[in-house]
């Protein structure tokens, strides 16, 4: 019986009760030659990883903690846009589940009313010329309740359940993998342009007063646009436009 709606994503499906991090597991498999679309999913992560060397809270049975192996033929410089692509696909999946308030904070957090529902961590292996593989790790809070959130996440985290979306994880996963696969093949056939446009439509960052903590500097200004590489363009006080390649955005209340 076919459980998933996808053709390639999840064709090889590795299910675990517990693991350190599905990104680590997926990287091991990718190094052994695992094919594109291989999915590693676990009930719990003992050392879930987040962006900027942070951890990721991944309690047993409460979320969808998974990674997908991709082997696209585009240039390594394009890999960062895969994360934007994932954010677009996931946001569309949440809209399908009835959560219309889900939107994207640059580059790839999915927020509902300012609280984080999803994190994405993309890791690439390859050279300057060629991508060997990409591991796209995605963590979705599904069943977690407000009481269960650790102290430091109480005001910044949310889950589908907390947003009133009562859905089984298998059903949610099916919708999510479907959207991811569709978006990925759209990018492979038509390039990133359309997906970046969709990103802009789904963004909660553009047009806002923001603060960006970039590795070298903190900027304050208005988020104006994305450039064609997915970098964020911020207009600062003196009117100049800064191009932000990496960093953490906070949206400043009006
Ligand atoms: C972030 O900091 O926002 C990114 C969080 C990414 C979490 C997911 S959960 C599945 C995969 N395995 C990991 O260790 N991290 C990612």
> Is 50 annotated in some ligand binding site?
yes
> CB of 31 within 8 A of CB of 71?
no
Please give the chain's pLDDT, 254 residues, in tens: 566 788 899 999 999 999 999 999 999 999 999 999 999 999 999 999 998 889 999 999 999 999 999 999 988 888 889 999 999 999 999 999 999 999 999 998 999 999 999 999 999 999 888 999 999 999 999 999 999 999 999 999 999 999 999 999 999 999 999 999 999 999 999 999 999 999 999 999 999 999 999 888 999 999 999 999 999 999 999 999 999 998 999 988 76
C-alpha 124/C-alpha 102 separation (Å) is 27
Nearest CA to ligand 1 atom 11: 137
Cα dihedral angle (236, 237, 240, 245), rounded to 10 degrees?
A: -10
Cβ of residue 50 lying under 6 Å from some atom of ligand 1: yes
Give the pLDDT score at 34. Answer: 97
Q: Binding residue per annotation — 23?
A: yes
Of residues 57, 90, 59, 70, the one with CA closest to residue 26: 70
Whether residue 137 has its Cβ less than 6 Å from ligand 1: yes
Q: Is the CB of 63 under 6 A from ligand 1?
A: no
Q: Which of 137, 157, 176 to mutate to test the pocket of ligand 1 (most atoms within 8 A of CB)?
A: 137
Could you tell me which residues come within 8 angstroms of residue 28 by beta carbon, excluding any fewer than 6 positions away?
Answer: none
| Residue 23 near ligand 1, beta carbon < 6 Å | yes
pLDDT score, position 2: 66
Question: Do residues 30 and 3 touch, judged by C-beta distance below 8 A?
Answer: no
- The best mutation among 64, 138, 156 to test binding of ligand 1, ranked by most ligand atoms within 8 Å of the C-beta, falls on 138
Question: Does the beta carbon of 45 lie inside 6 Å of ligand 1?
Answer: yes
Is 71 part of any known ligand binding site?
no
Q: What is the pLDDT of residue 252?
A: 85
Predicted complex ipTM: 0.99
pTM of the complete model: 0.95
Q: Where are the domains of the chain?
A: 13-202, 209-251
| 201 marked as binding residue | no
CA distance linking residue 10 with residue 177, whole number of Å: 8
- Indicate if ligand 1 lies below 6 Å from the C-beta of 122: no
Residue range 209-251, CATH number: 2.30.30.100
119 CB within 6 A, ligand 1? yes
Q: What is the pLDDT of residue 77?
A: 84
42 pocket-lining for ligand 1 (C-beta < 6 Å) = no
84 contact partners, CB below 8 Å, separation of at least 6: 107, 108, 192, 195, 196, 199, 226, 230
**Residue 33, exposed/middle/buried by CB under 10 A (0-12, 13-18, 19+)?**
exposed
Q: What is the fold, at CATH topology level, of the domain defined by 13-202?
A: BirA Bifunctional Protein; domain 2 (3.30.930)
- The confidence score (pLDDT) of residue 74 equals 86
3-class secondary structure, 160:
coil
Nearest to 230 by CA among 190, 199, 184: 199
Going by CA atoms, what residue is nearest to atom 16 of ligand 1?
A: 137
């Amino acid at each position: 019986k076919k459980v998933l709606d996808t053709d390639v994503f999840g064709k090889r499906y590795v299910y675990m009760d517990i693991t350190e991090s599905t990104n680590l597991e997926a990287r091991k498999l990718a190094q052994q030659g695992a094919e594109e679309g291989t999915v590693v999913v676990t009930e719990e992560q003992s050392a879930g990883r987040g962006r900027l060397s942070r951890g990721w809270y991944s309690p047993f049975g409460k979320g969808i903690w998974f990674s997908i192996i991709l082997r696209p033929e585009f240039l390594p410089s394009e890999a960062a846009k895969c994360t934007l692509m994932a954010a677009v696909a996931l946001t569309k999946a949440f809209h399908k589940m009835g959560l219309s308030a889900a939107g994207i904070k640059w580059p790839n957090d999915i927020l509902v009313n300012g609280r984080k529902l999803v994190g994405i961590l993309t890791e690439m292996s390859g050279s300057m010329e060629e991508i060997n593989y990409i591991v796209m790790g995605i963590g979705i809070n599904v069943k977690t309740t407000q009481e269960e959130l650790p102290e430091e996440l109480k005001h910044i985290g949310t889950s589908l359940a907390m947003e009133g979306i009562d859905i089984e994880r298998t059903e949610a996963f099916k919708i999510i993998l479907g959207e991811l696969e569709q978006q990925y093949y759209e990018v492979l056939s038509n390039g990133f342009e359309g997906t970046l446009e969709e990103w802009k439509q789904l963004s909660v960052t553009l047009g806002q007063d923001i603060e960006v903590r970039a590795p070298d500097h903190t900027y304050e200004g208005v988020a104006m646009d994305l450039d064609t590489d997915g970098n964020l363009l911020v207009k600062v006080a003196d009117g100049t436009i800064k191009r932000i390649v990496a960093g953490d955005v906070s949206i400043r209340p009006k």
